[in-house]
A = this chain, B = another copy of it.
Amino acid sequence: MKASFMAARLDRTDLKILRLLQNNGRLSNAELAETVAISPATCHRRTQRLFEDGFIAAVRAMIAPKKVAKGTLVMVGVVLDRSTPESFAIFEQAVAKLKFVLDCHLVAGDFDYFLKIRVGDMEDFNRIHGEQLIALPGVRQTRTFFVMKEVVDNAPLEF
């Protein structure tokens, strides 16, 4: 019970493990242990704890978008009709079902939401925009920003 309340501070070794796994999530426990200079047994327990305590939310293979016909990235700003909590909740519930939406963030400023969307091509997006985006509940207007060049996409977190 105590452990769940403890903020479980990370020491130097934990940070090393986190950074190594962030760069290569398929590192074996043996490799990890050797790199951070502890025994495999200790390394195994440390890593397990990092998972259990939620420091590592998931380990994901990053699929190359262009290789699976999702090479076109689009940012979309959304403004809703009304700024009520109900209106927001309904919109969020609906947008969470759209598989092509990578990010959806409620923001402060000229828009209510920002979406990051991946599709096959512009034609693909145009269809989706007409059929699914402007049809989302409570949407007053959208502003589309086609991404012409991905300078940095989903960079690893530095900490």
A148 within 8 A of B: yes
A67-B55, A143-B109, A144-B109 given; A102·B61 CB < 8 A: no
Q: Is the beta-carbon distance between A57 and B64 smaller than 8 angstroms?
A: yes
**Interface hits, A52-98 → B, CB 8 Å:** 53-65, 67-70, 73, 75, 92, 95-96
11 contacts between A and B (CB under 8 A): A22-B63, A57-B62, A92-B151, A96-B151, A103-B154, A105-B152, A106-B148, A107-B145, A108-B145, A109-B146, A154-B154
Q: How many copies does the complex hold?
A: 2
A75-B114, A152-B96, A158-B99 given; A63·B106 CB < 8 A: no
Contacts of A113 in B (CB 8 A): 151
Q: Is the beta-carbon distance between B67 and A157 smaller than 8 angstroms?
A: no
Contacts of A23 in B (CB 8 A): 58, 60
